[in-house]
Amino acid sequence: MVLKKIQKTPCTHQTDAESRLWYHLRSRRFLGLKFRCQHILQGYIVDFICLERKVVIELDGGQHADQKAYDDHRTRVLEKDGFKVIRFWNNDVLNNLEGVLETILNTPHPLLRSDLSHKGER
């Protein structure tokens, strides 16, 4: 019930890093792909997801250093369902946003890469 309530008001309580990355992912600004924020998947709330490419992007703050086992389990659950999980530290987004976007673009995942190389070709 709480997860459903959160999903109805997504993207309202973002960290600075989440807000900054969301600006570049929303409204199909990144490669024309539709991303959602604060999406419920397998009982977890993921920071960002592209359902059509099965890619999840998670931003981790300092608290994640203490919950590595939980994050690893969560990643395994999502990957078992066919999702590619890409994780970044908040500081990476705040200090090197261009590098983060480039890493997302260059992440080896067949669904992320398929037909993107043909964008712009006629």
Q: Which amino acid is at 111?
A: L
Give residue for tokens 């395994």.
Answer: 76
Mean residue pLDDT across the chain = 85
For residue 121, the model assigns a pLDDT of 42
For residue 111, the model assigns a pLDDT of 60
CATH class for the domain made up of 2-9+18-113? alpha beta
For the chain, how many residues are written? 122
Span 16-39, average pLDDT: 96
Span 46-68, average pLDDT: 89
Alpha helices in the chain, H assignment, sequence order: 2-8, 16-25, 68-80, 90-95, 97-106, 110-113
What residues does each domain of the chain span? 2-9+18-113
For residue 64, the model assigns a pLDDT of 58
